[in-house]
Structures are given as structure tokens and as C-alpha cells.
Chains A and B, each alone.
Chain A
């Protein structure tokens, strides 16, 4: 886990009160895909937008990139308003879509060169070569896209998005539906981009991914941003340590000498469970203390299983704690 806390400067992207309502089809009622979204992205950070399918992640990206027409609200990027300066803003944004949407008969080199030109940048073969080499695509430059594996195609989409040297890159579900190996590979690619100083906003419904990659995390559900914070802060404020002691002999009750808040005995008396701490190390100390106390009391145990709560647990808890959100 690397901590890259960006300097506090003017946001590179500022979204205020963004609304998007899709008209209902036929008798269906209108769907509110984005509901009064406020969001600020800092320069140089990797921001993960985390939420379940249908939460509004792709709509939010689409609104910034020009694929979706917002119903209300404002979007500013690089200190300019999207409404008036959309040309200048779009020229500095790259988008890697979720779907594998490419002309499969085109070669890698053609496709990436086209992307650079489309975004108004003069042809630059050296730059294209750099991008292709950085993504390990140079050897495949003359292959048609249909000849490439799924992982390679995703890299081409990234290369296309990087061809015009954007300052802000959107990655929509970069690892959805890919196998574990490809996911690791993609994370490695994102690390490469981080080194290049690109600000990245990625959407994901994999907690693991946000945990692995992001500096900050925003949780979105039903079109509303529930929480935005540094990943470490989220873990501290909402995280928990959970430890299970498998006892050698059943206990009827927890002895007063070791009783503490968060410690519970299972119904069959064979397992002692501790839940507590802040997810940032505090819980582990408590677990160590409990272990020492058990030893002092002569209570034997055969195994300890300790785990930190994941963002997934945090997310589930967050939604549970706000029934009006889940509804």
C-alpha cells in the first residue's frame, strides 16, 4: 500500500450539484442516475469511485467526458467551465471505456495515431512509440485489434486514451470481467501512469481494486456520493479488526479477568471472538493483549484467525447505517 497524498491545491476537476435524470420509457417512471453530486478531484491523485452496478459511476464519467448531457449542475476542469470551454477541456481528458469498443480491423498503430489526431494533436510518431512501448504494445503495433487477446485490447484502449497526453484520465471499470492475472497487469499499468503524473479517476465495484490503487475513495450509490475521504481515513473511521480464537476446551462464560469490550463467546463455547479497533493498527494491539491474557489464565487455543475489515465491509455497513440510501 503506497500513500500518495496530493498537495492541497486547486482541484483539477470540480463537480457541483450534478443531476442526471433519464426520461422513463413508456409507462416507466424517470430514473435519477445522478442526484446532486458534488466532487472535487486533486491534481496528481488516483481517485476511486466505488459503487455497485447501476450506482451512476459511468453516468458521472459520461457527463464529464461529453457522452451524457447532464440535467443540472456545473462541471469545471483545469479552472474552466465545461459549458463554454468544452473544446479546451476535452482536449486534455482521456477516457478508457468499460466496453471493448473499437474498430477490430484497424491496426494498433493506426488506431492510436488516429486517437491523437482526433484530439487535435499534431502527428508525433515518437510519442506514439513511447506510449505503445510503455504499455508493451510496440511489438503488436502492426496487428489488427481482432488478433489481440482481451488484455492486450484493454491496453490498446488505454494507449488510445493516452495518445494525446491528457492531464486527466478516466478509467471506467478497468478490470471488470478480466481474470486475476490481467487485473494484476492492469494495476501495474496504472502504476506506470501514476509515475507519469497523470491524474486518474477510476470506477470500480471491486473493493480490492480501490484498496490497492487509490489515494482517495468516493463511495457512490443510487446516484449519490455517500462518502469521500482518504483511503486510510476511511479505514480508520470505519475499519475493524476481527480475531477468532479456536479454543481447545469449551468455556461456559468469559472469565472476568479477560473480559473486555468487543469480546464474545460463541454459543457452543468453542470460539472466542474479538471485534474492535480502528482498522489502522489499534485492533491488532488489543488482539495481542487478549492472547497474552489467555496464556496467563491457562486457556489453550489451537488457532488465531485475524483479519482487517475490507472496504467491502465498510461499504456494506455504510449502506446499512443509512436505510434512506439503500431504499
Chain B
């Protein structure tokens, strides 16, 4: 492979993918925001008012990082996967494969656009949350870095999914059957300290627990696992995804005959 980075190409892909999201602005931005509002109304305002504080944090505020993550994971995954799956499905990917771009430009373009969308959604959700509950973010910079990290990892994960899937069913299977259950059981709406053994130990095998914990720590300085472990787990997942995608492009798996 020729070394170097083709910035013009990466920028072209990025711009186009962001434009594609803008075309479908209702589905991309309005719908996750609406869903999150419903969660806040039900769990935050309606039920939350009758719940005890968790670790000194009001329940309505406690679920903010969890809900944010819930949306962040599903949106990043679906944005990352659709961006690359659609051209594979229509055949338009011929253009990308015949272009003078390698894995680096492709990832910066596609995944960069997916991350951008996720960050916009995250910002809107955090703003929406202030309408329902009072909360402050203890470490805003760290929270931002963490959100970028999670959005990048799962956009990459989605990208792998989009390369792997050979039908729309498979494309939706993993988010639906793996991601959603793991997220709900990963302490989105509760602290895993509230679980009895052996379930508390079992929960620690759920990778989402570390993501929720990490993000919650940047908000309230308290979490189920230490922040260092959470950061390391997220960064490790990011590195793993990049590794897999690089392998895919090297071997041409599902891309080149």
C-alpha cells in the first residue's frame, strides 16, 4: 500500500455522508430525541419522583448518562452501519473501491460523519434533559472526551456490522438482539451495586457496564467500576474495531472479489 493520506478524498466522503444525514434529518435527529424525551417523562418525571436517590444523586439525574449512552450506542451503530451498507447494497461502492483511497480516508470520512451525527444528537439530548431534571456535569471536558470515544468506537463497530451484513435483517439483528439487551442490563437505569450476587459479578462481564460507569463518573464522580478501567475498556474496544476494519480492507473481505 502506498503511504500517505488523501485529505481531499476523506473530506469528500465526510461532506457527502453529513449531507446524506441532513437529507433524512427527521429520522436521524428528531426520532432519537423524541424517544429520549419519552424515557425522561416515564422514568424521570413520572416514576423517578417516587424513587430514592442513588448514591446521593436524584434518580432523574442519575439516569441522564445512561439514557444518553443508550441513544449514543444505538445511533452510532446504525449511522456507522448504514453509511457503508447502503452503497454495498446498491452497488455504488464500486466508486469507493476504484478511488485512490485506502482504509484511513474511508474511516475518517464515513466514521467521522457518523460521529458528528452522534455528537449533535448527544448535545440535543443533554439540552432536552434539562427540561425534565436538574443536573450538573462534574467533569465536562472529560465527559466530552468520553462521549467522543464512545461515539467513535460504536460508529466503527457499526461500520464493521455494515461490512459484515448481507441483508437488512442482519443489519438490525445485532443492535436489536445484542446491543439493546446489554445496554438495558448494563446499568442504564440502575446501579449494578443494587444487584444481588451472583448477578452483580455476572453483570461485570457485560462490557456496556464499563461504558455507563465511565460516563456516569464524569457526571457525578461516582461509578460501579473505577474510571481508569472504564476508559481503558472503551479505548481497547476502539482499537479492536480499527484493527478489524484494517484487516477487512487488507484482505478485501466482503469488499473485493
Give chain A's interface residues, CB within 8 Å of chain B. Answer: 22, 59, 62, 65-69, 84-88, 90-91, 93, 95, 97, 99, 101-105, 110, 114-122, 160
Q: How far is the CA of A105 from the CA of B87 in the complex (A)?
A: 12
Q: How far is the CA of A308 from the CA of B97 in the complex (A)?
A: 43
Q: At the interface, yes or no: B139 with Cβ under 8 Å from chain A?
A: no
Q: Out of B4, B20, B91, B96, name the residue touching A118 (CB < 8 Å).
A: B96
Q: At the interface, yes or no: B246 with Cβ under 8 Å from chain A?
A: no
B109's closest neighbor in chain A, by CB? A118
CB distance from B227 to the nearest CB of A (A): 41
The answer to whether B96 touches A84 (Cβ under 8 A) is no
Stretch at the interface among B9-17, B193-201, B231-239: B9-17
Contacts of A116 in B (CB 8 A): 12
Q: At the interface, yes or no: B100 with Cβ under 8 Å from chain A?
A: yes
CB distance from A272 to the nearest CB of B (A): 54
The answer to whether B100 touches A91 (Cβ under 8 A) is yes
B98's closest neighbor in chain A, by CB? A65
Give a binary string over B83-98; 1 marks a CB under 8 Å from any A CB, 0 the rest: 0001100111111111
Q: How far is the CA of A120 from the CA of B4 in the complex (A)?
A: 12
The answer to whether B87 touches A118 (Cβ under 8 A) is no
Query: Lowest 10 A-B CB distances belong to which pairs?
Result: A117-B12, A101-B91, A65-B98, A90-B100, A87-B100, A91-B100, A87-B2, A101-B92, A118-B99, A120-B8
The answer to whether A122 touches B257 (Cβ under 8 A) is no
The answer to whether A103 touches B257 (Cβ under 8 A) is no
The answer to whether A102 touches B12 (Cβ under 8 A) is no
Using A67-B98, A85-B2, A87-B6 as known contacts, say yes or no to A102 and B90 having CB atoms under 8 A apart. Answer: yes
Contacts of B8 in A (CB 8 A): 117, 120-122
The answer to whether A67 touches B90 (Cβ under 8 A) is no
The answer to whether B9 touches A69 (Cβ under 8 A) is no
Q: Count CB-based A-B contacts (< 8 Å).
A: 90
CB distance from A113 to the nearest CB of B (A): 8
A103's closest neighbor in chain B, by CB? B92
Q: How far is the CA of A93 from the CA of B94 in the complex (A)?
A: 13
Q: At the interface, yes or no: B101 with Cβ under 8 Å from chain A?
A: yes
The 29 sampled A-B contact pairs (Cβ below 8 Å) are: A22-B257, A59-B257, A65-B94, A66-B98, A67-B256, A69-B252, A85-B2, A86-B2, A87-B2, A90-B98, A95-B95, A95-B98, A97-B91, A101-B91, A101-B93, A101-B94, A102-B90, A102-B92, A103-B90, A114-B15, A117-B11, A117-B15, A118-B9, A118-B12, A118-B13, A118-B95, A119-B100, A120-B100, A120-B101
Q: At the interface, yes or no: B50 with Cβ under 8 Å from chain A?
A: no
The answer to whether B2 touches A69 (Cβ under 8 A) is no
The answer to whether A69 touches B95 (Cβ under 8 A) is no
The answer to whether A90 touches B90 (Cβ under 8 A) is no
Interface positions of B from 1 to 47, Cβ below 8 Å from A:
1-2, 4, 6, 8-9, 11-13, 15-16, 19-20, 23
Contacts of A85 in B (CB 8 A): 2
Q: How far is the CA of A102 from the CA of B20 in the complex (A)?
A: 13
Using A93-B98, A118-B101 as known contacts, say yes or no to A66 and B256 having CB atoms under 8 A apart. Answer: yes
Contacts of A121 in B (CB 8 A): 8
Q: How far is the CA of A86 from the CA of B9 in the complex (A)?
A: 15
B1's closest neighbor in chain A, by CB? A86
Q: Out of B11, B19, B90, B256, name the residue touching A110 (CB < 8 Å).
A: B19
Q: How far is the CA of A86 from the CA of B16 in the complex (A)?
A: 24
Using A87-B2, A97-B91, A103-B87 as known contacts, say yes or no to A114 and B12 having CB atoms under 8 A apart. Answer: yes
B87's closest neighbor in chain A, by CB? A103
CB distance from A269 to the nearest CB of B (A): 58
CB distance from B87 to the nearest CB of A (A): 7
The answer to whether B100 touches A117 (Cβ under 8 A) is no
A170's closest neighbor in chain B, by CB? B98
CB distance from A59 to the nearest CB of B (A): 8
The answer to whether B92 touches A120 (Cβ under 8 A) is no
Q: How far is the CA of A95 from the CA of B101 in the complex (A)?
A: 15
Contacts of B90 in A (CB 8 A): 101-104
Q: Out of B4, B86, B94, B256, name the residue touching A103 (CB < 8 Å).
A: B86
CB distance from B104 to the nearest CB of A (A): 12
The answer to whether B94 touches A97 (Cβ under 8 A) is yes
The answer to whether B97 touches A67 (Cβ under 8 A) is yes
Contacts of B87 in A (CB 8 A): 101, 103
Using A95-B98, A122-B8 as known contacts, say yes or no to A68 and B256 having CB atoms under 8 A apart. Answer: yes
Q: How far is the CA of A164 from the CA of B6 in the complex (A)?
A: 14
B6's closest neighbor in chain A, by CB? A120
The answer to whether B100 touches A115 (Cβ under 8 A) is no
Contacts of A104 in B (CB 8 A): 90
Q: How far is the CA of A90 from the CA of B101 in the complex (A)?
A: 9
B89's closest neighbor in chain A, by CB? A101
Contacts of A84 in B (CB 8 A): 2
Q: How far is the CA of A115 from the CA of B101 in the complex (A)?
A: 12
Give a binary string over B214-257; 1 marks a CB under 8 Å from any A CB, 0 the rest: 00000000000000000000000000000000000000100011
Q: How far is the CA of A105 from the CA of B2 in the complex (A)?
A: 34
The answer to whether B2 touches A114 (Cβ under 8 A) is no
Contacts of A68 in B (CB 8 A): 256-257
CB distance from A66 to the nearest CB of B (A): 5
Contacts A115-B95, A120-B8 known; list 5 others, CB within 8 Å. Answer: A69-B256, A87-B4, A101-B94, A101-B95, A103-B87
